[in-house]
Amino acid sequence: MNTLTITPDFSPWRQGLKDALPLFGGYIPVAISFGLISIQAGFSVFETILISTFIYAGASQFLFVAMVASGAPLPLVVLMTLLINARHMVYAPNIARYMGSDKRWLPLMHGLTDQVFALALVRLPQLPKAHRIAWYTSLGLLAWFSWIGGTALGAVAGDTLTQRWPLVNEALPFALPALFAVLVAPRCNSMLWTTTLITAAALSMLCKIAGYPNAAIPLAALAGVVVFYAIKAIQPGDSQK
């Protein structure tokens, strides 16, 4: 694993902001899309911003807006939102082990998105314990504020943006996949990770083409895990090269 160079003037706050820049660039267009869709579904600008502030979970927010707009019962809306976010029950313990006994991180778990988790899982082990809270806070706050800001922009000026630049409508749906690609690409630095990621991506595409899009993500994830540990068992010394 590559380690972070810690110099006497190293600032975990600045490093957190630097590491969050890819999230900033990826969250804004997706949040604009959400803000626009929420307004079109009948929510006010204020309500739309509140959803991004307190729910702060991309897929869950789109589902929440769609279900409320369609008249679904509130208990069902809440249940479906919680089910989609159930993955955080796996995310949080994996992050908590790097925070030790410092309980200041507990309220920061509100900012634990998929992308923040991916970055934190790689970066936190490279940081001294004294720097971890500051780094995570900086990363999480910039990601959160960029999501809220993008939502507000989409809610207030989304229609104007898409009417003036129709290409924006075509680009917005690709923003989130592009963000994941940016986060994954640096891991393709060894045969182990490259083979694992190519296998998962290829299988997910085949499932989609074959007409089984709902099975694409779980099957691809399972295949990635199997390939990763199979190669690691054969070549244990190559896992971190």
Residue 113 CB partners (closer than 8 Å, separation 6+) = 56, 57, 58, 143
**pLDDT higher than 80, residue 215:** no
Q: 66-111: per-residue pLDDT in tens?
A: 888 888 888 888 888 888 787 778 888 888 888 877 777 778 888 8
Residue 23 region by backbone torsions, left for phi larger than 0, else alpha for psi between -120 and 50, else beta: alpha
Q: How many CB atoms lie within 10 A of CB 3?
A: 8
Could you identify the residue written with the tokens 């923003």? 175
Q: What pLDDT does 240 receive?
A: 45
Q: Which helix (H) or strand (E) covers residue 195, if one does?
A: helix 191-209
What tens digit of pLDDT does each residue of 11-63 get? 889 999 998 888 887 788 888 888 888 888 889 999 999 999 998 988 788 88
Q: Please report, for the chain, the start and end positions of each structural domain, with discontinuous segments joined by +.
A: 12-187, 188-241
- Say whether pLDDT at 155 is over 60: yes
For the segment 200-215, the average pLDDT, to the nearest whole number, is: 84
pTM passes above 0.75:
no
**Would you call 160 helix, strand, or coil by DSSP?**
helix
Q: What is the pLDDT of residues 118-144, one digit of tens each?
A: 889 888 988 988 889 999 999 999 999
Q: Which two tokens stand for residue 128?
A: 């001294």
pLDDT: which is higher, 8 or 215: 215
Give per-residue pLDDT as tens, 159-205. 777 677 666 666 665 655 665 665 566 667 778 888 888 898 898 88
State the pLDDT at residue 168: 62
Q: What value does the CA radius of gyration of the chain take, rounded to a whole number of Å? A: 19
Q: Are 38 and 155 in contact (CB under 8 A)?
A: yes
Q: What distance in Å separates the CA atoms of residue 236 and residue 33, rounded to the nearest whole number?
A: 44
